[in-house]
Structure formats: structure tokens, C-alpha cells
Amino acid sequence: MNNMTTARTPVPDTARRLPEAERRLSLRERKKLKTRTAIRDATYRLIKEQGYEATTVEQIAEEAEVSPSTVFRYFPTKEDIIITDEYDVLVEDLLRSRPADEPVLESVRWAIRQSMAMQVADTPEYAQEEMKLRTGLMVSVPAVRSRAMESMSVTGRLLCRVLADRTGRDPDDLEVRVYAMGLMSALLEAVLYWAERDYQDDVLDLVDRTLSTFSNLARRSPDDGHDILTG
């Protein structure tokens, strides 16, 4: 592959990320953002060419034009370079912006759609491709999948807090936690399903089906096709 940029044109994709929020930051903060995305872009580029295992952190550092130390300062593990997303806070805000009497699953559905739309808006050309690469790695690389599950459980705790606020329960309540983790895990499974089938389905459609399955669990009638699981 030689459609990659030469060293003379460092990290070209960088400029496209975080177009608005990037302003009004100190030079230092802007530089930090730049190296962060430079590292991530370099990682995606190399992995696309060579695969995950064949790509070492040293190579990533070189490609991103930083030292290996810096890579580890920005991302605690190699998997984090791929998985870490900054959208968790966003999702929490989105969830909290919904009326408290809306069914939880509706709020979640809306928050997912909204956050995906915003990601696409941030980086139109790359959002889809990056998401495919990421989920593909979740399927093929156990370490990445593990890290994704960890990250998902963090999002689960977030959902716990929202649920707790809505229902007046404790966020550490067993029932709250079980519900939140079950839901998050189901959603992750949907994404894995999407990647395993070579992204043929519409992700949002899979999300809808997942949420439906989740809300229909207790019904016994086999009339809508999503609810005969409980026997």
C-alpha cells in the first residue's frame, strides 16, 4: 500500500477532528489534542495496513512522530488507543436531557441515535470507517474485545446513575446495576453481531431490535417474533 501520506505531511486527518471545540483552548491543550488524535490516526492507519498484532507501539510512536513514552502517557494500553471514546459524558448529558417520565429504553434509543449522529457530524468521512475498524477488531482481537467490555461496564455505571436519579433508588442497588449492565451488554452484543455479519445490517436497526428484545422479555405471547425466549 502506498496511498499513505509521506513523512513530510504529518498526520493530515488531525485537522478535521473536533473542529469547533478545538478553539478557545490554550496552545498547550490544543497540542495535546493534536498528539492524541495523531496517535490514534497513526494507529488506525498502521493497523489497517498490517493488522493489529503486527503493529507495535514503537511503530505507532514513529508514525505519529512522538516517542513511545508519550504514547503510553496518552493511552495506558495499546487497546485503549482503539477503544477509548470521549462520548460517555456526552451520552450522560443526552440521557439527562430527556423527560424523567419517558421510558428508559426510549431515552437510551434516542441517546444512541443522537450520539452517533454527532460523531458523524464531527468527522464525516472517517466516522463510519473508524467504527467498522474498531468493531471489527473487537470481534477478531480478544484483548480489544475485553477492553471494550470494560469500557461498556463504565458506561453501565453511568446508566446506573441516571436510572438511580430517575427512580429514586441507589445507583449501587443490585437491581439497578443488573438492569444497566444487562442492557449495555446486550447493546455491545448487537454491535458485535453487526461486525460479524460484515456490517450488512443497519446498526441502528440492530439497536432497535435489541431494545425491543429487552423490553419484551417478560411477555409470553409469541405474536411479535421477539419475545418467545422465556418459554
Partner DNA sequence: CACCTTTTGAGAGTTACTCTCATTTCATGC
Partner DNA sequence: GCATGAAATGAGAGTAACTCTCAAAAGGTG
Question: Which residues make up the interface to DNA (CB under 7 A)?
Answer: 26-29, 31-32, 35, 55-58, 65-70, 72-74, 76-79
User: Measured from the CB atom, is 55 or 210 closer to DNA?
Assistant: 55
* Residue in 101, 200, 221, 223 binding a second copy, rule: CB under 8 A: 101
Within 10 Å of residue 170's Cβ, how many Cβ atoms? 12
Q: Does 183 bind a second copy (CB under 8 A)?
A: yes
Q: Does 45 bind a second copy (CB under 8 A)?
A: no
d(CA 109, CA 25): 33
d(CA 133, CA 35): 21
User: Measured from the CB atom, is 57 or 206 closer to DNA?
Assistant: 57
DSSP assignments along 39-70, one per residue? HHHHHHHHHHHH-TTT--HHHHHHHHTS-HHH
Q: Pick what 193 binds: a second copy, DNA, none; C-beta below 5 to 8 Å, kind-dependent.
A: a second copy
Within 10 Å of residue 32's Cβ, how many Cβ atoms? 14
Grid coordinates standing for 78? 495499546
Q: Which residues bind a second copy (CB under 8 A)?
A: 100-105, 142, 145-147, 149-150, 153, 163, 166-167, 174-179, 181-186, 188-190, 193, 206, 209-210, 213-219, 225-226, 228-231
